Structure 1
Amino acid sequence: MSVDHSLAVTGTAPRAFLFADPAAHSLSPRMHNAAFEWAGISGQYQAQQVPAADLPARVEGLRQPGILGANLSLPHKESVLPLLDALSDAARAIGAVNTIIHRDGQLIGDNTDAPGLMAALDDAGAPDRGPAAVLGAGGAARAAVWALRAAGREVLVVNRTQARAEALTRELGGRACAVAAVSWAEVTLLVNASSAGLGDPYATPLADFAFRQLPAEALVYDMVYKPAETRLMREAREAGRHAENGLGMLAHQARLAFQAWTGHDVPVRIFLDALAGVTS
């Protein structure tokens, strides 16, 4: 396997990365570089577009001295698993990694999406009872299903490809459902863990959906954060339902990743303040 030496560290400044495809939309550099500054560390965080074919070499390059690790986003959270030396219990159970931690030449995969989501839902005042519906069946959806089931929730998985939803629930539990088969009047939490709506204010994972059938106290949580108000959120709000974007989850998972890399527990407000006014 070839190693990507473009990641090499200059001097002693620690570095971390985001590997994604696409990557240009990412707000992670703003957050992590603000955290470096707050912690008094002269580090640097960069987002890099990494096609699937290039992932093995980029991951191998993380073993170089001075590199703290990397975050992973679409489409790498599941495919990275065999490239790592060890997995945290959460990452192994979820079957997806969003954070790689470099320790003395070893690469450890972790998943901070799951606790990041739960912290964000708590911030948003999400109901803690009643069924939760998760839209999607990729790495982010796996983290959501695992976290919600660990919290004792009944979880329904809705995906445009039913077979993928069924495969996910066979591994992690929950029930795969078509949109028409969900008893929406009972669903108190709707989480969009798909990429539908990312960068496209007209796209939605639930076209022609009657949000008023959700209970009045229901929360619609869209992991997408660009645009700041997705079509899913807008239509939910028009129906009088509470809706939030994924900035809270983004900030919480970033805080946990930064702590794993550096040992510094930076307040989540530092990450959120770095995002102010940049998602519209």
Structure 2
Amino acid sequence: MATEDVARGVILTGLIGMDIQGSRSPEMHEAEAAAQGFALRYRLLDLAQPPEQDADLAQTLEMVRAAGFAGVNVTHPFKQRVMALLDELSDEARAIGAVNTVVFRDGRSTGHNTDSYGFAEGFERQLGGVALDRVVQVGAGGAGAATAMAMVKLGCRELVIVDPQATRAADLVARLPGGIARAATRPVAAEIADAQGIINATPIGMEGHPGVPVDAALLRPDLWVADVVYFPLETALLAAARAIGCRTAHGGDMAVFQAARAFDLFTGHPANRERMAARF
């Protein structure tokens, strides 16, 4: 089927991850291509579901390359693992230490990171003007690396990274420019007590990963709270924050704008951001 699509001039793309059946990426990419007058097929390659569940990341990447895909998005839990399997990395992907978009061109694979761009765009739309003197971020994985880089670019003055794996938090801090970040040195409650905002950069709260990344009792009305999760749009964390009057930002805009930038890279046609956002 993939070979036939390529022969007909259809651009093939997709998403590699686990438990990704709720992804809205296929609809966003395919509808934007249709609006621009060309055909694109976006396939979910869910390594937690048949028929891909017995394949590993390397096998799946080679399969899509051989099938003629223009590229693939990569999501949890593969954003950092995929880096060693690629021929090249963009400067941003290398600095962030995570890849969410792989482009196949001229026989080579190049890893990009569009998550940082997506988070920054969504943050400005939903939380533009909030104080960024001191922010606590939960999560130092692939998504966390992207959100941390976005916070640097947005002008955060101090970013405290909380992660169960202390070495992962320390590694992320070391990669960030400007010396604004540090790994948490106090209990989470103490770190949040004098912060102005919280970012959830973990999968906690998404479908299949229920719960909250921090105790909701630690929230207070003067905090802003941002979440990278977009399925559901209102996570348990955001619901608790909204209930007490916090300003909040859901992960939907991050999903839209990272997808738009990935679409640019896959197709060579700039995505209409407003049109993609309106469809989400």
The two structures have a TM-score, normalised by structure 1, of 0.87
Q: Paired residue for 1:32, among 29, 42, 56? A: 29
Q: Paired residue for 1:191, among 151, 175, 199? A: 199
Distance 2:192 2:102 in 1: 38
Residues 104, 200 of structure 1: CA spacing in aligned structure 2 closer, same or farther, 3 A cutoff? closer
Residues 183, 43 of structure 1: CA spacing in aligned structure 2 closer, same or farther, 3 A cutoff? closer
Give the secondary structure class of the aligned counterpart of 1:232: helix
8 Å CA contact 1:64, 1:105 repeated in 2: no
Aligned pairs (5 A) from 1:174-189: 174-177=181-184, 178-185=187-194, 187-189=195-197
User: Residue in 2 aligned with 1:110?
Assistant: 112
User: Residue in 2 aligned with 1:78?
Assistant: 80
Distance 1:180 1:8 in 2: 54
Aligned pairs (5 A) from 1:81-92: 81-92=83-94
User: CA-to-partner distance for each residue in 1:79-111, whole Å, 9 max, x for gaps?
Assistant: 001111111000001110000011121111000
Amino acid aligned to 2:168: R
Distance 1:8 1:76 in 2: 26
Amino acid aligned to 1:75: P
Distance 2:118 2:146 in 1: 10
User: Residue in 1 aligned with 2:44?
Assistant: 47
Deviation of the 1:227 alpha carbon: 1.9
Distance 2:243 2:216 in 1: 13
**What are structure 1's unaligned runs of at least 5 residues?**
1-5, 276-280
Q: Residue 132 in 1 paired to residue 140 in 2?
A: no
8 Å CA contact 1:62, 1:102 repeated in 2: no
Amino acid aligned to 2:183: A
User: Residue in 2 aligned with 1:3?
Assistant: none
Give the fraction of aligned pairs with identical amino acids, expressed as a percent: 33
Distance 2:67 2:107 in 1: 8
Q: Paired residue for 1:60, among 59, 62, 65? A: 62
Q: Point out the more displaced range, 164-173 or 67-76.
A: 164-173
User: CA-to-partner distance for each residue in 1:128-185, whole Å, 9 max, x for gaps?
Assistant: 5312221112100011112212333221111233343223223335111141331533
Q: Paired residue for 1:210, among 198, 201, 218? A: 218
Q: Paired residue for 2:155, among 152, 155, 169? A: 152
User: CA-to-partner distance for each residue in 1:37-82, whole Å, 9 max, x for gaps?
Assistant: 1111111111111259511122123333742100000111000011
Distance 1:117 1:246 in 2: 8
Distance 1:53 1:15 in 2: 20
8 Å CA contact 1:14, 1:68 repeated in 2: yes
**What are structure 2's unaligned runs of at least 5 residues?**
48-52
Amino acid aligned to 1:149: V
User: Residue in 1 aligned with 2:243?
Assistant: 238
8 Å CA contact 2:211, 2:236 repeated in 1: yes
Distance 1:230 1:40 in 2: 36
Residues 169, 44 of structure 1: CA spacing in aligned structure 2 closer, same or farther, 3 A cutoff? same
**Number of residue pairs aligned between Structure 1 and Structure 2:** 266
Aligned pairs (5 A) from 1:241-260: 241-260=246-265
Distance 1:195 1:179 in 2: 18
User: CA-to-partner distance for each residue in 1:8-61, whole Å, 9 max, x for gaps?
Assistant: 453221110100011212111111111111111111111111259511122123
8 Å CA contact 1:189, 1:220 repeated in 2: yes
8 Å CA contact 1:8, 1:64 repeated in 2: no
Q: Paired residue for 2:174, among 145, 170, 173? A: 170
8 Å CA contact 2:114, 2:262 repeated in 1: yes
Amino acid aligned to 2:160: L
Residues 262, 99 of structure 1: CA spacing in aligned structure 2 closer, same or farther, 3 A cutoff? same
8 Å CA contact 1:98, 1:112 repeated in 2: yes
8 Å CA contact 2:14, 2:71 repeated in 1: yes
Over the residues paired in the alignment, what is the CA RMSD in angstroms?
Answer: 2.1
Distance 2:276 2:246 in 1: 27
8 Å CA contact 2:264, 2:271 repeated in 1: yes
